[in-house]
Every structure is written in structure tokens, then in C-alpha cells.
Structure 1
Amino acid sequence: MGEHTVKLYTRQNDKTLYQLERDGRIINQRVYVELHFGDIAPLFMESYDWFTKEASKRLPKPEDVHAPIWCSISVENCLKPIPGTVVYCLEVPEDQVIYFDDVKWDYVLNRIYLPKDEEDKKAYRQHLKDIGVENGFEFLSGKYKGMFPEEEARIRESWKRAFEIDNWTIFNVCGNIWEIRKEWVKKIVHPGEKIE
């Protein structure tokens, strides 16, 4: 293991405190993600499962982990602790972190094509016109579902760009980790306390 660590911050349900005490680690259960999204969970879970699968190709995940834990890379952009939550201030070995672009993640969540750049965006718009499709939202969940398999493949392939960071700022870059290990936790911030 390299000595390089990075500081990450993540807000979690305060029930995770027991998990940390009991197991010496915290992992995110898939069911928590489902609960968080309520009725719209089925749509979103497909995206989260895609993320989990894709991210684990980049950094193998422990057997028992089925959902990501997402962290802010800065105090400024970290969600503040509210009642029922705590913020974990972590120092994580760099080789345990997969960075991704949260703005690009929205494309995955919306199940639409993620363009490489402005030029690609224009080209894709033109492409949709050429095939007579007015709405790129409808390929994976909508009236075109199943009708354009090659488009579906193109869209899914484009999502991998979420792991390519072109623009490194604290507002769009997030860090994914598979677990929070006790030795990584430098500080636990409760509601009403300052993060740093």
C-alpha cells in the first residue's frame, strides 16, 4: 500500500456508528439506497447498479459490498450533518478511491447520452434528428425502449465518461469508496458541530 492518502468527507446515517463499532467498518447496503429514493428507486437502482459494476472494474470491491459510498473531496462542498446523520472525516489511501464527475453522473441517472464535449453534443443532436428522434430521454425508459438497441449500447458506453475528469473542481469531483474502515476515520462530526 502506498503512503499517499486523500482527505474525504461523507455524510451518513448515524446508525452507521454502531456498524463502525461492531464491525470496524461501514458498508452501504443496497437497501439503504432504495429507501433513500422511495418510489423512484427502481429507476435509479439500475443506474447505481451500473455504477457499482463499472467502478468495480476499476477498483475491485469486497465481496459483501453491493453499493457505493460517495464522498466529497472538500469540506466546503460536503453536506453538513443534520439530525440523524454524522459526517465522517476520512483519510483514505489514494489507491482505494475512484474519482468520478458528479455533473456527468446526472446523465447516467437520467439515462441519456453523455457527450464527450460540446462538439460531440452537437453531433449527437444532429444524429438524433437524422434518425427522426426528438427526445434522447426515451431510449432506455420511454416509448423507444427496445426499439434502438444500437442507440442503447451507444448511451451505455458513453456513461463511462463519468469516470473521466476533464474539469477538476471541488463541486463536480466526488470520490467513491467501497467501505469506510475504522482506521480511516479521523473525526466524526455531529449535528451542530463544525466540520473543520
Structure 2
Amino acid sequence: MKLWTIHPVEVWEWLQQQGFYRGAKELVYEDFLDSYDWLIIEMEKRLGPRPEKESYPVWAWKQWNGVHIRPDLRFSGFLEKGTRGVRLEIDIPDEQVVLSDFDKWHYVLNYWYLEENEEDGELFDKEIKKRGLDYYQQKPLPDPYYHQKIVDSWQRIFDIEPRNEEEKRSLSIQAIFWELKLEQVRKVDFFVAR
């Protein structure tokens, strides 16, 4: 599977020296650790165990912003402004990759309920409000049933089929895997983040 991963240039240097690169916990914002722990469990279900107990996901793009296949380095937000970076075109075996919807991943990061459709979302919000719960203010919800409903809803991030033309035009598909090997790199583009 052809993918693109973006990193500070130091990751490219590490990859050349060590021959492999793995994600690390210290690269994750503390507020997102619970979300990453959930994601790691999902990855282990789909890909098998981590190479090491400390391994965290390596992120890449399968499709960026709908019409673009690879990320356009003229846009900002890939790295902190002014950072020297690399966009690596890589080839990872399909069975070593989990794909998910970039926008839906934000529901996991924010501890939001990921509705199946508008009606489902309205019904869930009405149910929890009746019980005096608010997942925007209470993280995690103190009611185990509704907490689990939120967590279960996150399975929808793995549904990467657009539901309509609007989604198709804007869909960004992210890829996660345990390890990037030097021999999987096909092309290297250097840039300075905007």
C-alpha cells in the first residue's frame, strides 16, 4: 500500500541510522493518551501485538483532503512552523496497516459520541441529557453504560467509505502501523513547515 508519512528531518536521520522507526509515547500530547491507548488495543486486534511494549503507532496518509492523494506541503499544520521536515513516500504491506477516517478520529481524541447518522446523534444526546450527563464536560461519563456507548461508537472511524459526494471531496484517510523500515521508503521530499 502506497502511503505518505510526514516527520521532522531527525526522524529520517534516525531511520537511516537504525533501519527502522517506531512511534513513542513521549510524542503524544498527554490529553490524548487515553485515546491512543484505545487505538493501540484496536491495532493489536487487527495487526497483532506491538513490536515492543513501548511502541506507539506510526502515522501516515493514504488519502489527504479528498482530491489529493499525497499531502500537499504548501499547506500548514503538518509540523510546527519553521520545522525542517520530510515527506516520505512509503510502501507498507496491506496486512500491516489499519486505515481510518481522519475527521472521525477527532471524536476519539475529544471523547465525543460518533453518531451513525444525524438521527442517531440526536437520540443519544437526548438520552444522556435526560440523565443529567454531558460528555463535553464529564470525561469519562460516570455512567458505565453510556461511557461504553461512546467507546463503541468509535468503531465507526474505521469506516472509510464516503456517504455522499461532499464527504468524497473532503475525505482524508489516515494509516497507522507499528513500524517503518528503511527499505519501505520509496521517495523523500524535504521541506520547511509553513
- TM-score category (smaller protein): 0.7 to 0.9
Distance 1:181 1:79 in 2: 23
Q: Which amino acid aligns with 2:183?
A: E
TM-score (norm: length of structure 1): 0.78
Given that 2:114 and 2:153 are in contact with CA atoms closer than 8 Å, whether structure 1 keeps it comes out as yes
Q: 1:25 aligns with which of 9, 20, 29?
A: 20
**Per-residue deviation at 1:9?**
0.5
Q: Secondary structure at the match of 1:46?
A: helix
Find runs of 4+ consecutive structure 1 residues off by over 6 angstroms. Answer: none
**Any unmatched runs of 5+ in structure 1?**
1-5, 34-40
Given that 2:22 and 2:179 are in contact with CA atoms closer than 8 Å, whether structure 1 keeps it comes out as yes
Distance 2:22 2:135 in 1: 35
**Per-residue deviation at 1:185?**
0.3
Given that 2:63 and 2:172 are in contact with CA atoms closer than 8 Å, whether structure 1 keeps it comes out as no
Q: Which amino acid aligns with 1:56?
A: E
Count of residues in Structure 1 that have an aligned counterpart in Structure 2: 175
Q: Which amino acid aligns with 1:158?
A: S
User: Equivalent residue for 1:183?
Assistant: 183
CA displacement, residues 36-80 of structure 1 (integer Å, 9 cap, x when unaligned): xxxxx3221111121112122111243225211111114735262
1:47 is aligned to 2:40: no
Paired residues for 1:139-150 under 5 Å: 139-141=138-140, 145=141, 147-150=142-145
Q: Secondary structure at the match of 2:16?
A: helix
Given that 2:9 and 2:84 are in contact with CA atoms closer than 8 Å, whether structure 1 keeps it comes out as yes
Q: 1:116 to 1:74 in 2, by over 3 A?
A: closer
Higher RCO, 1 vs 2 (CA within 8 Å, ≥6 residues apart): 2
Q: Which amino acid aligns with 1:136?
A: Y
Q: What's the C-alpha RMSD, in Å, of the aligned pairs?
A: 2.3
Given that 1:59 and 1:96 are in contact with CA atoms closer than 8 Å, whether structure 2 keeps it comes out as yes
**Per-residue deviation at 1:191?**
1.2
